[in-house]
Amino acid sequence: MSEVLKPGQQIRPNLSVEEARDLVEKLYGVKVESIKELDAYDDKNYHILLKDEAPQGNLLSIWPHGYVFKILNSMDSKKVSYVEAQNKMMLHLTTKNIRCTQPMPNLNEQLLSVEEINGAHHIVRLLQFEPGKILYDIKIDSELCIQTGSFLAEINTALEDFQNAAYENHSTIWALDSTPKLVDFLFAVTDEDKKKLVADVIAAFNDRVMPLIETLPKGMIHGDYNEHNILVRKHSEQWVSDGLLDFGDSQYNCYLFEVALAACYMMLQAKESLTPVHAGTLVVAGYHKLRPLSATELGLMRVCICARLCQSLVMGLYSHAQDPTNTYVLQTAKSGSGWTVLEKTWQISDEEFAKSLDQAFDETKQ
Q: Which of 114, 94, 104, 112 is nearest to 50 (CA)?
A: 104
Q: What is the CA radius of gyration of the chain?
A: 20
Summarised one tens digit per residue, pLDDT across range 163-183 is 999 999 888 889 999 999 999
- Give yes or no for a contact between 234 and 247, defined as CB atoms under 8 angstroms apart: no
- Give yes or no for a contact between 240 and 233, defined as CB atoms under 8 angstroms apart: yes
Q: Alpha-carbon distance 7 to 364, whole Å? A: 43
- Give yes or no for a contact between 62 and 55, defined as CB atoms under 8 angstroms apart: yes
Active site residue 200: no
Active-site annotation holder among 42, 224, 246, 249: 224
Mean pLDDT, all residues of the chain:
92
Summarised one tens digit per residue, pLDDT across range 25-82 is 999 999 999 999 998 878 999 999 998 877 889 988 899 999 999 999 998 899 999 9
- Give yes or no for a contact between 77 and 121, defined as CB atoms under 8 angstroms apart: yes
pLDDT of residue 164: 96
Q: Alpha-carbon distance 292 to 157, whole Å? A: 12
pLDDT of residue 127: 96
- Percent of the chain scored above 70 by pLDDT? 94
pLDDT of residue 1: 44
pLDDT of residue 273: 79
Classify residue 61 as exposed, middle or buried by CB count within 10 Å of its CB (0-12, 13-18, 19+). exposed
Summarised one tens digit per residue, pLDDT across range 186-243 is 999 999 999 999 999 999 999 999 999 999 999 999 999 999 999 999 888 899 999 9
pLDDT greater than 80 at residue 335: no
Q: What is the DSSP string of 80-143?
A: HHHHHHHHHHHHHHHHTT-EE--EE--TTS-S-EEEEETTEEEEEEEEEPPPSEEGGGS---HH
Identity of the amino acid at 345 = T
Domain limits, the chain: 17-130, 134-365
pLDDT of residue 336: 57
- Angle of CA points 234, 152, 76, to nearest 5°: 110
Fold of 17-130: Phosphorylase Kinase; domain 1 (3.30.200)
pLDDT greater than 60 at residue 91: yes
Classify residue 39 as exposed, middle or buried by CB count within 10 Å of its CB (0-12, 13-18, 19+). exposed
Lowest mean pLDDT among 121-125, 259-263, 271-275: 271-275
Lowest mean pLDDT among 10-14, 42-46, 219-223, 337-341: 10-14
pLDDT of residue 25: 95
Identity of the amino acid at 37 = E
CATH class of 134-365: alpha beta
Q: Alpha-carbon distance 240 to 279, whole Å? A: 15
pLDDT of residue 4: 57
- Identify the band that residue 321 occupies on the pLDDT scale cut at 50, 70 and 90: confident
pLDDT of residue 39: 82
Higher pLDDT, 356 or 366: 356
Report the run of H or E that residue 238 belongs to, with start and end: strand 238-244
- Identify the band that residue 271 occupies on the pLDDT scale cut at 50, 70 and 90: confident
- Give yes or no for a contact between 173 and 4, defined as CB atoms under 8 angstroms apart: yes
Cα–Cα distances in Å, from 172 out to 211, 244, 265? 19, 20, 19
Alpha carbon 94 to chain centroid, angstroms: 18
Q: Which of 121, 108, 119 is nearest to 26 (CA)?
A: 108
pLDDT of residue 6: 60
pLDDT greater than 80 at residue 2: no
Please provide residue 221's backbone torsions phi and psi, each rounded to the nearest 5 degrees. Answer: -130, 155
Report the run of H or E that residue 33 belongs to, with start and end: strand 32-38
pLDDT of residue 186: 94
Identity of the amino acid at 171 = S
Higher pLDDT, 298 or 11: 298
Higher pLDDT, 297 or 273: 297
- Percent of the chain scored above 90 by pLDDT? 79
